[in-house]
Structures are given as C-alpha cells and as structure tokens.
Amino acid sequence: MIGKAQDKVFLTATQGVAKTANLSALLGAPVRVAPRLGKPSPRLLARSQAVLAWGRKPSARYAEALATRHGLPLWRVEDGFLRSLGLGGDEPPLSLVVDRLGIYYDASAPSELERLIARPLSEVQRRRAEALVSRWREARISKYNHNRDPERSLPERFVLVVDQTRGDAAIRLGGADADSFAHMLDSAREAYPEHRLLLKVHPEVAVGRKPGHFDLAALAEDPRVEILGEDVHPARLLATAEAVFTVTSQMGFEALLWGKPVHTFGMPFYAGWGLTVDALPASSRRRPLSLAQLVHGALIDYPRYLDPETGAPCQVERLVDWLGLQRRMRERFPRQMVALGFAPWRHAGVRRFVAGSCLTFTRWPERLGPGQTALVWGYKPLAERLPEGVPVVRIEDGFIRSVGLGANLAQPLSWAIDRQGLYYDATRPSDLECLLEAGIEAPELLARAARLRERIVQSGITKYNVGQSGWRRPAGVSRVILVPGQVESDASLAYGAPGLKRNMQLLQAVREANPGAYVIYKPHPDVVAGARRVGEAEERAEQWCDAVVTEAGMHQLLEEVDEVHLLTSLTGFEALLRGKRVVCYGAPFYAGWGLTEDRVALPRRRRRLSLDALVAGVLICYPTYVSRVTGRFTTPERVLDELNEWRSAPPSAVDRWRERASRLLRLAFGTK
C-alpha cells in the first residue's frame, strides 16, 4: 500500500474525483482538493505523492496543469475491469486502475498496462493467470454484475457484434471513429455468412438516452441481424457466441477469457498482442504474447481491489468469488415474484434475500396469475388461496439466524428458501432433503464443512446466540440428558412430529425411558422472554426432570451434557456438531441419515451421511445468507465473523428500539 494515510495524500483539481467513494481506500491515502485560486500550502505540497486525474476526461486538464505548476507526478485513475455489482452511478468502485504513464484506453501513447502485459511470467504467475480465467468463467462475471442473463432464446449459431455510445472517448483514443462500426458489421457478415448477427446495443441507446452507431430501424428489416437492446448480463452471450466483433468495448477482452475469436476495429488494450484479429495495425510497443500475460497484466498487476465486506485491500480472486456468489444467488428465482402477507417492516429484508428478482407485496393471493411466482412465509394460509398452477417459494428462519430471538426485529443473517416444501416438513420432500439424499461428496466442500463446523463449536455460535450464564453438571452425575423445549405452536411440530407433539409428553417419555439419568429441561428462549405463551411443560417440568435451566446459553449447556433428547428442535443439530448423542422423538431435518437415534421411521431418507456431508448441505448449500454490513449475499463463514462482532459490541440505540418494538408489533400484526 502506498504510504500511510496519516502522512501522505493525493492532490486533485476537482471535487468530483475527491468525492469518488472508495477512492482513498483503494489508494491507501486521503485525496485532497487543491484550491483553484492561490497556491496549496507548502505542508500540503510536501505531503502530496501525486496529482490525480480521472482518465482523460475534460476535468483531467485541470489536474495536468496543477501537476505541471507544482512539479508533481500525474497519475491517471479509472474504474477497474472488474468494477462492482451495480452501475457506476449506483455503487462505488471495488477496483481501480492507477497509471503513471498514460491510461489503458489511449492507444496513441504508452501506458503502464502495456508495460505490465509485456512482462514475461514465471511458471507460478502463468498458472495463477490460467486459474483466474477458469474462475472468471465459473463465476460468470463481467465488469458490472447487477443484470440477469437474457431470458430470450438466442440464435442457434450467431456472432456477437457490440455497439458503443457515440462520443465514447475510448473509441477516439483507440484510433477508431463512427465508420469503424459500419466496417465491423460488414466484416461480420462476410466472415460468418451462415451465422446470425446478434447486435448488442448499449442499453442507453436502446431507451433513447444516447445515440449509437447504427440505424436500428433499418437493421430491424435485415433478416440476418437480430437486435439485442435489453440491459442483460453478457456472460451467456459470450459463452454461446461463436465469435465477437467489437471496436474498443471491454466485451472483447471478456470474450478472450471465454476462449472466443475476437475481431477488433479499433485498438483497445487487449488488441495488437496476437490474440485478436485486428483491422488496425498495432504499435511497435505491442508484440505477440500469451493470453496468460494479458490476463496477469490486466487483472492481477494493473488494478487495485477492495474487499466488499471488510473494506480492506484484497486480491482479484476474492472479488471474483464474491461477485460470482452475487450472480448465482440473483439468478435463482424468476424475474417477477409476489410476496404474500409480509408485514411492512419485513419488506426490506425480504428484498435483500431475493435480490435479483423484481418483488411486489400483496395480501391478496387471488390476484396472482400466470407467469407469477408467490413468495410465502412458511405454511401461511394465504398460500391456500392462490390460483391453481401458481408456483410457491417458501421462506423460513435459517439455522444461524441473528443475535436475539426469532420474535424480535433483529436483522436475520440467514433464511431457508425452498421451492418444494420446507426443511422441517417431514411429510413431503424439501430442497434440503433432496440435496442430502442426492449426496455431497466433493472433497473441497467436505473439507470446508469440517472447518466451518470447528469454527462454530469454538466460537459458541448457535441459532439465536442469547443467554449469558453457564450451567455446570452436578458433582457425581454420570449421565446428563438435555431436553430442549419448543414453542408448541411451532410448525415443525405439526409437520415433523407424527407421534409426540408437546414438550410435556416429551419430558414424560424421556424420564420413563431413562429413570437413572439426570434430566434437565430448557424452555425455549422466546417463552422465557415472554414473547411466546408458557406451556404445560414450563408449569410442571419439575415433576419430570431434575432441573429447569432458563438463563444458560445453549453453547455452554451443550458442553456440559452427554445426550440431547428432543422432538424437532434445532438443538439436536447443534449437539451433533459437538459430537453428542442425539435421540429424536420427532422427524427433524437432520434425522434419518444415520447420525441420530430415531424413534420415527423416515423411509425417504435412505442415504447414510457423514457429519461433514450433513453440515455441507445444511449450512453451506441450502440456506441463503445476507451480510448485515453490505446487505448483499454472503457466506456462512462471513456470517460467523459478523455474529462474533455483533455479540461483542454493545447494543446500539437501534437494537434497543427493536427489542422494545418487537413485542408490540408482534401483538398487533403477528410474528412475520
């Protein structure tokens, strides 16, 4: 990193550059605006490393003059080639290029990128570049990543022709002009006479905000040309096109990453190296080299990257993985979804968990029609009023939820979102059951699950993460059984407990089957907090157990007991993580896989799983996680980091307000 933020700065001539979000973090030092009138203070000049100019925008002339006047280096900055999830006007850059010689899209002068691309690679660097290409394809990413793949069917055989907006500086500085686009289209016709020409129009051209380079009305009559004006993600286009024709668009570079033939009609940064078919002669500065050299220079050496979740500098692979996760999660569900019966304070959270789909809210399921998908909390009766044939996607709390109880307004970190049923419903298949029955055998995924399990146990994370005091087993007791209570209106009892359904019945059964054991009963935290009704078990538990424990945290309690006997409580899964014996009197999602002692038959669950395979399915593959820091999709590992930070921080004013408001809102509107 360049210098220390407290003793080094960068100068700029314009407020616009200085206000660019993430700029200081990417540079490693603050950015200060030099006064337009008068001379910057001697102290400011002495601390200044360089003057910043944003590429070759008109505002860069002020920066050039400032650098010349005060004898400072001029550095040009631009967005990186892997910028962000959303567009530049909506989100700050997560990568930045810094060039001390020129700027990458100006082919008329040397740039630092040219120098980096031309460097020979070691074997380690070559392998890293090749692995990055594979990672890019697997993640299906691009410079911007908010859009979905095109929904329309693509031609069976086509070449992609890329338009750009008129006035784009990269066209002129790339040695091209408006005539280059007509030449490009004619060349595509000639080179691929049997193919359809899919013309990718810039979205701002399609909506009439900016002009492009083609007469779209005339081309619409051409039987060989198909116009694509929608604002779609390019990954599917590049993966299926047989060739790509471009003037200076970055899509040509991305097409090289997809292994496609690329024809250029300007001189973009990736042309002239022997990797593209070029209509213009290359500068003597450029010579044939490998794709690995181009990739290493353009994606590894040249840009700087910022971790979107920690705000710290990171490597390109970290950003590729994060953006790839966003892309996968945003494509899961249909483009249009309708959420049924969610209280207003839940709307923002629901939108975060199904980001990528256009979501509307209603309490009138009868109004849904063909082509719409309903989103419902659990098995709410609203879903029963849906017209026949409307698909239903159901949401429930995830297994690592938050700090705080389920009945409060704390922002959840995970939800289970299921197309078939729900994980707690043993009466029919769910996405989780089908995932586990299919088997999880990938070694890297199992190793990841093992690491995650160890972290959870070491950090003491459970679903709600409430309870502070510990509990110690009495001296001389050889066998301690924990019976966790459940909210008796819990849907998992209705759908996952075909025999016993009440906490009192469970306590009696455990005591009768284990007369010599020391049995402790822990009521559900919502009941202890007064957010749920007290049941018979809480009133008469002392008749059937040796102790009732209310204040102990579940993690500390599980460390002290030998066994857990339960109906469908998630505590059984948390006990499995800690190597405890688990006896199931109901049919929770983790039963039936050979890891528990089951009192209920589960004939659909035939596969025998290792603990790590169960963990991989339950905690990695099935739930949806959303970061409370970014509001974006995240991983269970990052959720553990955030939960540990959340638990150690004192409650904020917002947290205290949520705790006070939760009970009132629950009484007025219901939990969800």
pLDDT digits 0-9 by tens, 148-157: 999 889 999 9
- Judge whether residue 668 has pLDDT over 70: no
Residues of the domain holding 476: 465-620
Which residues share a beta bridge with 264? 246, 278
Who has greater pLDDT, 167 or 259? 259
For residue range 464-501, list pLDDT tens digits in order.
655 556 789 999 999 999 999 988 888 888 888 887 77
- Phi-psi bin for 99: left (phi > 0), alpha (psi -120 to 50), beta? beta
Both 306 and 176 in one domain: the answer is yes
The number of distinct structural domains making up the chain is 3
pLDDT of residue 2: 40
pLDDT at 38 over 90: no
Same domain, 49 and 161: no
Are 157 and 229 contained in the same domain? yes
Render pLDDT for 421-469 as a digit per residue (tens, 0 to 9): 999 999 999 999 999 999 999 999 999 999 999 999 998 887 765 555 6
Give the three-class secondary structure for 168: coil
pLDDT value at position 405?
Answer: 45
Is the same domain home to 152 and 300? Answer: yes
Q: In the predicted model, is pLDDT for residue 270 greater than 70?
A: yes
∠ at Cα 335 (329, 340), nearest 5°?
A: 95
Per-residue pLDDT, 196: 97
- Answer with the one of 254, 281, 311 that is the final residue of a domain: 311
Q: Which residue has the higher pLDDT, 666 or 582?
A: 582
Q: What percent of the chain has pLDDT over 70?
A: 91
Residue 327 covered by a domain = no
Range of weakest confidence among 192-206, 245-259, 434-448, 528-542: 528-542
110 in the same domain as 218: no
Q: In this model, does residue 420 exceed pLDDT 70?
A: yes
Residue 26 in any domain: the answer is: yes
What are 624's strand-pairing partners?
Answer: 415
Confidence of residue 671 (pLDDT cuts 50, 70, 90): very low
Does residue 534 lie within any of the structural domains?
yes
Q: Is the pLDDT of residue 665 over 90?
A: no
pLDDT of residue 497: 80
Question: Does any domain span residue 481?
Answer: yes
Mean pLDDT of all residues in 18-31 = 93
Residues 111 and 152 grouped into a single domain:
no
- 195 and 111 inside one domain: no
Q: Of 571, 423, 587, which is closest to residue 496 (Cα–Cα)?
A: 587
Query: Across residues 254-276, what is the average pLDDT?
Result: 98
pLDDT digits (tens, 9 = 90+) for 325-382: 999 999 999 999 999 999 998 899 999 999 999 999 999 999 998 889 999 999 998 8
% of the chain beyond a pLDDT of 90: 75
Can you read off the two tokens belonging to residue 219?
A: 């081309």
Mean pLDDT of the chain: 90
Q: Are 57 and 28 in contact (CB under 8 A)?
A: no
3-state class of 375 per DSSP? strand
Beta carbons within 8 Å of 68's beta carbon, 6+ residues apart = none
User: Is 133 domain-assigned?
Assistant: no
- DSSP string across 526-582: HHHTTSS---HHHHHGGGT-SEE--SB-HHHHHHH-SEEEESS-THHHHHHHTT-EE
Return the structure tokens found at 226: 């198909």
- Worst-scoring range by mean pLDDT, 307-321, 549-563, 570-584? 549-563
Residue partners of 536: CB distance under 8 A and separation at least 6: 502, 503, 504
Same domain, 175 and 236: yes
Question: Where a domain ends, among 294, 311, 328?
Answer: 311
User: Which range has the worst mean pLDDT, 293-307, 389-403, 643-657?
Assistant: 643-657
Domain identity same for 61 and 189 = no
Check which CATH number belongs to the domain holding 599 and give it.
Answer: 3.40.50
Q: Do 145 and 66 share a structural domain? A: no
Confidence of residue 502 (pLDDT cuts 50, 70, 90): confident
Q: What is the dihedral of CA 175, 177, 182, 188, to 10 degrees?
A: 20
Q: How confident is the model at residue 236 (pLDDT cuts 50, 70, 90)?
A: very high
256 and 169 assigned to the same domain? yes
User: Distance of alpha carbon 489 from its chain centroid, rounded?
Assistant: 33
Buried b (16+ CB within 10 A) or exposed e, 550-569: bebbbbbbbbbbebbbbbbb
pLDDT at 507 over 50: yes
Say which range, 104-108, 295-299, 624-628, 654-658, has the weakest mean pLDDT. Answer: 654-658
- H/E run at residue 131: helix 123-139
- Token pair, residue 156, equals 């069976």
DSSP state of 40: P
Q: Which position has the higher pLDDT, 409 or 227?
A: 227
For residue 589, pLDDT over 60 is answered with yes
pLDDT at 408: 46
Using one digit for the tens of pLDDT, what is the confidence trace for 172-191? 999 999 999 999 999 999 99
pLDDT grade for 406, boundaries at 50, 70 and 90: very low
Domain boundary, last residue among 296, 311, 326: 311
What stretches of 307-419 adopt beta strand conformation (E)? Answer: 313-314, 336-340, 358-362, 373-377, 392-397, 414-418
In the chain, the largest separation of any two C-alpha atoms, in whole Å, equals 91
Residue 313, phi then psi, degrees to nearest 5: -60, 145
Higher pLDDT, 406 or 610: 610
Residue 316 in any domain: the answer is: no
Determine contact, residues 554/538, Cβ cutoff 8 Å: no
Q: Would you state the pLDDT for residue 1?
A: 38
Q: In terms of domains, do 149 and 211 share one? A: yes
Contacts of residue 577, defined as CB under 8 A and 6 or more positions apart, other chains included, come to 453, 456, 457, 611, 615
Residue-wise pLDDT tens digits, 517-573: 999 999 887 776 654 555 566 667 788 899 999 888 888 899 999 999 999 999 999
Structural domain includes residue 432: no
Is the confidence at residue 110, as pLDDT, over 90? yes
528 inside domain: yes
- pLDDT band, very low/low/confident/very high, at 403 (cuts 50, 70, 90): low
